Amino acid sequence: MNEVSTINNYPVPANTTVKNKVVNFKADGYVKTKENEQVDKFIKEQEKARKNAKRGQYFNYTVLGLIGLASLGSLGIMAHQAGWFKKFKLDFVDLAGQKGLKDMAMPETQKKSAEGIKNYINNFEEIYKKGGGKGTAILMYGPPGTGKNTFAYAIAKDFPNSKFVDMDVSKMNSKWFGESEQNILGTMEATVKYARKHQNEKVFVFIDEIDSVMMQDSGNGAKLSQDILNAFKKGFNKLTKEKNIIVIGATNLHIDPKTAKIAGKTLDSAMLDRFGEKVLVDLPDKEQIKIAFTNFYKNPERGFIDESLMDINNSTLDKIAEFLSKKEHQTSFRKLEEGILKQAARKSKIGENITYQDIINTISDNKENLNITDAELEAFLKSVK
């Protein structure tokens, strides 16, 4: 039998290691008795300590695993925000079905702006050598429905090798932190890459509702607003460094041409200054309405049309255009086409040609949308009898 020692005055085999190990008393010929209950208790405590140590190891491994997964998750979020997993595909607008500058009803000021833009694009090299900037940025402003999009399409269409990117920043906002900035900057950088690979093409970038990313925010969303603005500035600078990129921004807000400030809104002045040219696209005047009216009916696809509707010198058309061109009626090109001309076609009698009377009836039916008072309508109806 093995030599024994004592623990708390109770015998324990001498060769027994009681730390982190269960003592094998049976193998050593030791028989438990009532007198050595404390030794038995000691052995159980050692067994419990050993199990707890193992549990601790498992817990540590689990914590380390969770930390690892969390780190991978954070890395994934960072990669997502940086755009590592996202490819930005450019969707070009088909300009074939769009109007050209010659097809548009424009006032002289807008025509001069169009010519100036074309001159800059066509003679970039010479203008750059004289001190002009590399890229060009134009800001179009004016009431809704005045044809800012159409004007931008028309300018691009005047160049045989041109591509048109319609960048709607309002659709790029995301609930995920940092993703809005990624969408904006990623699209701009993809445009720059394309322009560098296709130096023989003019790349037009149209940014509608551009004021949504130029607005200064002092409220709860100030930090988010500033982050988006900074990303937009960074991408904008990259666009305007390319000689074959033309940036056209559009806003429905009114700009004071003397101060270049937008009334009622606080915009980032540094961003506003980046636009070298600011073009007012205003509500159409009498002559523009007449041109838009007759061009609508000269479309070769039209049928069942009274020929008088295509005569720009028709006296009834002259009176209609004069009435609609009054500022208080806020007749935009969109209102003219969607709210009057197209509706008149639906209200005309089936099997009969559409006439001026159908146009007049439609104007009467839409007096609320055109801000026409009863007295104005009565006077108008008398003038066109």
Q: Does one domain contain both 70 and 116?
A: no
Q: Report residue 318 as tokens.
A: 């002259």
Task: Report if residue 95 sits inside a domain.
Answer: no
The residue from 23, 48, 82 where one domain ends is: 82
Q: Does one domain contain both 205 and 292?
A: no
Q: For residue 46, what pLDDT is reported? A: 66
**Residue 4 above 50 pLDDT?**
no
Give the DSSP letter of residue 375: H
Task: Report if residue 94 sits inside a domain.
Answer: no
Q: Does one domain contain both 182 and 63?
A: no
Q: For residue 72, what pLDDT is reported? A: 53
Taking residues 373-384, report their average pLDDT: 94
Q: For residue 121, what pLDDT is reported? A: 83
Q: For residue 68, what pLDDT is reported? A: 58
Q: How far apart are CA 145 and CA 252, in angstroms?
A: 9
| Residue 284 exposed, middle or buried by CB count within 10 Å (0-12, 13-18, 19+) | buried
Q: Does one domain contain both 130 and 236?
A: yes
**Residue 322 above 90 pLDDT?**
yes
Reported as a pLDDT band with limits 50, 70 and 90, residue 292 is very high
Give the DSSP letter of residue 280: E
Taking residues 245-252, report their average pLDDT: 91
Reported as a pLDDT band with limits 50, 70 and 90, residue 24 is low
**Residue 10 above 50 pLDDT?**
no
Taking residues 281-309, report their average pLDDT: 92
Q: For residue 306, what pLDDT is reported? A: 93
The contacts of residue 83 (CB under 8 Å, 6+ apart) are 182, 185, 186
Q: For residue 344, what pLDDT is reported? A: 93
Number of domains in the chain: 3
Q: How far apart are CA 340 and CA 178, in angstroms?
A: 44
Task: Report if residue 174 sits inside a domain.
Answer: yes
Q: Report residue 5 as tokens.
A: 């020692």
Task: Report if residue 96 sits inside a domain.
Answer: no
The residue from 230, 260, 280 where one domain ends is: 280
Query: What Å distances lie between residue 105 and 59, 281, 282, CA to CA?
Result: 76, 11, 12
The residue from 265, 280, 295 where one domain ends is: 280
Range of the domain at 70: 1-82
Task: Report if residue 93 sits inside a domain.
Answer: no
Q: Does one domain contain both 240 and 351?
A: no
- Could you write out the DSSP letters of every residue in 40-87? HHHHHHHHHHHHHHHHHHHHHHHHHHHHHHHHHHHHHHHHHHHTTT--
Reported as a pLDDT band with limits 50, 70 and 90, residue 70 is low
Q: How far apart are CA 160 and CA 176, in angstroms?
A: 40
Query: What Å distances lie between residue 349 and 34, 75, 298, 316, 374, CA to CA?
Result: 115, 66, 20, 20, 26
Q: Does one domain contain both 276 and 297?
A: no
Task: Report if residue 89 sits inside a domain.
Answer: no
